[in-house]
Amino acid sequence: MGLTISEIRDRTTRARHLMQRSRQQNFAVGAFNIDNQETLIAICRAAQKLNSPVMVELSQGEVEAMGLENVRDLVDNYRDEYGIEMYINLDHSPDVESCKRAIDVGYEFIHIDISQANHDASEEEIIAKTKEVVEYAKFTGALVESEPHYFGGSSNVHDSEIDYEEIKKTFSTPDGARSFVEATGIDTFAAAVGNLHGKYPVPKELDLELLAEIRKAIGCQISLHGGSGTPLHFFEEAAKLGVSKVNINSDMRYAFRKTLEKVLSENPKEYAVVKLMPEVYEEVQKVVEEKIIAFGSQDKAVS
């Protein structure tokens, strides 16, 4: 069932208040990708247990798998069932029209990432299309996030080491962040300070000094993508520095896949897979709880 414009604006207002609270109280909100209903349930249970606000998010492939409107309804139903504070973020959307559709459906957070589809997109093109989404989002009040260049890695488990000398070439700069925010009017800047999509054999390292400089340079919210595989103390410090949103995907996918493989191997004659899922829920929920605690968002939910 579709939402009225009044209902959508009420939810985006609440989302804006959440971002304000995150800055005032020095916590970050976990944005957790979903590509199935089981992962959504695990996120809801973690949010309920720890009384934490959460976002669920979908990238383009996840939208295609689950449906833009379907997820809106699922999130609303589970939010009410569990009595939690939960929002939806469109993650790394590669074009303006996809962002507009999500805004129309009532997504509270929109990430426009033109360089996702075209890694060589010019900054002028990225700015122009980001501004178009920012302007369109004013009708509902949705918060818009973006960045001025391609963000590396992929949300999977990788065997290769991290080439930090190469990654550093794509780090954000305070001046670059300020210029991009002023040019686009975005609500959230996606910073690159050592965060990288995916899970790697070695832990990731965040440049917290650079993050602090970026925080001083811009007034809007800051997000960190590629949070999986990062030692938790980096998140604790990032939240204190003023990061409002951290994206998590690969850590949950890894827990889901490994646990599902385990229960399938232990129950070779069980074909009702739904009966095997409780252990999968539990392991994914543990990942979400761990992140919530590190982000400092426990007991920060409001009704």
Structural tokens at position 229: 């595989």
Task: Go through 45-56 and write b for each residue having 16 or more CB atoms within 10 A of its CB, e for each that does not.
Answer: bbbbebbbbbbb
Which member of 91, 187, 207, 251 is catalytic?
Answer: 91
As a whole number of angstroms, the distance between CA 42 and CA 285 comes to 5
91 labelled catalytic: yes
As a whole number of angstroms, the distance between CA 227 and CA 73 comes to 27
Written as one string, the DSSP assignment of the chain is -PPPHHHHHHHHHHHHHHHHHHHHHT--EEEEE-SSHHHHHHHHHHHHHHT--EEEEE-HHHHHHH-HHHHHHHHHHHHHHHT--EEEEEEEE-SHHHHHHHHHHT-SEEEE-HHHH-TT--HHHHHHHHHHHHHHHTTTT-EEEE-SSPPPEEEEE--SPP-HHHHGGG---HHHHHHHHHHH--SEEEE-SS--EEE-SS-----HHHHHHHHHH--SEEEE---TT--HHHHHHHHHHT--EEEE-HHHHHHHHHHHHHHHHH-TT---GGGGHHHHHHHHHHHHHHHHHHHT-TT----
Pair 89, 57: CB distance under 8 Å? yes
As annotated, the active-site residues are 91
